[in-house]
Amino acid sequence: MRGRQHRLSALTASAALVLSSCGGGGGSSSGTSTPSPTPTPTPTSLYAVPAQESLTVADVETVVAHAVAEAQKRNLPAVVAVTDRVGNVLAVFRMTGARASATTSAAPNGDNIDAQNLTVPAEAGAIAKAITGAYLSSGGNAFSTRTASMIVQQHFPPAPTTAGLESGPLFGVQFSQLPCSDLSARFASSGAQAMIGPKRSPLGLAADPGGFPLYKNGVVVGGIGVMADGVYGSDSNVLDNDNDPEEFIALAGTLGFEAPESIRADRIFVDGTSLRYSDAAYSGLLASGAVSFAAINGSIGTLVAVRGYYGDPAPAILAGAVYGTEASGVRASRAAEFSNRDAFVLTDGSGNNRFPIRAGTDAGDVAQPISTAEATAILQEAFAVMSRARAQIRQPLDSRAQVTISLVDTRGQALGIVRSPDAPIFGTDVSLQKARTAAFFSGTHAGPDLLASSSADVAAFVGKARTFLNDPSALTGQYAFTDRANGNLSRPYFPDGEVGRPNGPFSRPIVQFNPFSTGLQSALVVGDLAAHLAYVTGASATDTPQRCSALPTVSGQNRAQNGIQIFPGSVPIYRGNVLVGAIGVSGDGIDQDDMIGFLGLANAGTRIGGIGNAPAAIRADQIVVDLGDATVRLRYVNCPFAPLLDSSTQNVCAGL
């Protein structure tokens, strides 16, 4: 599956353009020893913990029955999937006559690579949609797969008339929650780990309308996804209203479990644009009256097993895990695990923190790795910044930001993961992707590792980057790369959104680009997706490893174990001029994510000394790309205006 024809198909002009950054200042000086940090004092609690709501078996039956009834009225047999908040698949129901598969969008020029023009099992698409609705949502925001479609495309908002605008704020998030991720848990039919999450998705996050979150008493408890029309794509024009039967069917499934109107995506604005929740309205539903699952099960369709996700040994409707409990895999931290009592951690179902705070594992590569005390201070200070930050994508206005924060060493090993109680689940895997991406591209090993890839396509991106940057030594550690900087190079137009400009070196050309083929990001995981879908369909007895595998390993894993991410929210960590790790943040607005990592790291350096942000002279915003008629400077971080709830201070990142 190395050849192009087999990849998964076997299955923003002026004379000078400057993209600004929050810059200035150098990193903290290095030291020979690290004092024990004194935690920043914090109140006992700033965040409300979500009520312990969950989907019962009867709830799931109701969701499925309502969706099936609507599908019957529309004469469109469907596959319906329901998950809980942490991604456990609770039901997959196939109506008699439903299409067995769906096809992803083709490349504009017909040269299909990565996940373009791919035939996928309908069950995989339905599960991905349900997971997307659940994972992108929280008690402060309800996002659907239509919302996801709006925020991952090459222009935001996506429409024929918006060419020239920058890409979606979560450009690339679709390649997260991957089936090869080492963070995502895998299906188990029994045992303490059976219901822990976050679970993986067979196709990452979905942008095809037909997936919604499910709520009980204002608490997100899961998601529903529907596949029926044979197309697994996205909405390229938000200026019109689609009459999408899949979306109506899925919306019917939310009856009684509707997202509160006040937090739906259309009440949330990004850069002055209201997000989209649904083109389907409850007033447009065709089915009415009470519906019984018993009346449809076995006559209209049946529950079906999905290998690796549901139905082992036999399909039966499950009750959802109660988010926030040990059994869900996400719970409140203990005092010994993290000092701030608002923090949540990931657990294994048996009481053990899956990603405890620890020292760096890279003593063979770094003279003085991150110590446990330093790791603790970085995570504490980032968490403290989050607790003061004004959220972007939460209602009501002036809510506190809620995110997941991940810390890694130069080998990509997780040195701790903490999150706020109601942070969206998707940000857990994404924050780790972001941290690993910053560490990887800032290190000496980025170019060599990519050149050593088992994929010729992946290796070719090194030459493209060195040519584009006019730097034959690019990707060997001279510059500190954030995800914002790396994202500049990963867009199908450079500068981002400017039609007629060339693609960034880590992106596919626009004539070949769509959300299913982003460039280096997708190329790194295409083999794993192929192997996994072959496993799901039964064509292969072997699943993809719990490691996205197109890079060589070091100490038993590679440096991008769950894939890379290409939208902002990470910064590398330095001891003087030496890279020692990175921090990634995800969950509540990309500028907020940047600020929490950048300012949190700076505060940690001030508090304990020894570590800090990269020296200004080596930050990626020192890189200027010559386009012939214009020059473009990469961005490093971009901190938000009026970002703090307890202060009117502006430019909080300036001079750091």
DSSP labels for 104-117?
EPPPTTS---TTTT
| Half-sphere exposure at residue 562, Cβ-oriented, CA atoms within 13 angstroms | 31
601: nearest Cα among 378, 388, 375: 378
Q: Which residues of the chain have pLDDT under 50?
A: 1-38, 41
Fold of domain 4-47+328-619+629-633: Beta-Lactamase (3.30.450)
Residue 470 near residue 626, CB atoms below 8 Å: yes
Provide CB contacts within 8 A for 537, sequence distance 6+.
121, 307
Encoding tokens for residue 53? 């709501």
Residue 286 near residue 167, CB atoms below 8 Å: no
Residue 332 CB burial class (10 angstroms; 0-12, 13-18, ≥19): middle
**pLDDT recorded at residue 43:** 52
Task: Give ∠ CA 110-114-120 in degrees, rounded to 5.
Answer: 95
**So what CATH class is 57-106+115-323?**
alpha beta
95 phi/psi in degrees, rounded to 5: -75, 145
| Domain(s) of CATH 3.30.450.150: residues in the chain | 4-47+328-619+629-633, 57-106+115-323
Q: How far apart are CA 217 and CA 22, in angstroms?
A: 41
525: nearest Cα among 11, 198, 117, 180: 180
Whole-prediction pTM: 0.94
* Strand runs labelled E in 396-543: 404-408, 414-419
Three-state SS for 549-587 is: CCCCCECCECCCCCCCCCCCCEEEEEECCEEEEEEEEEC
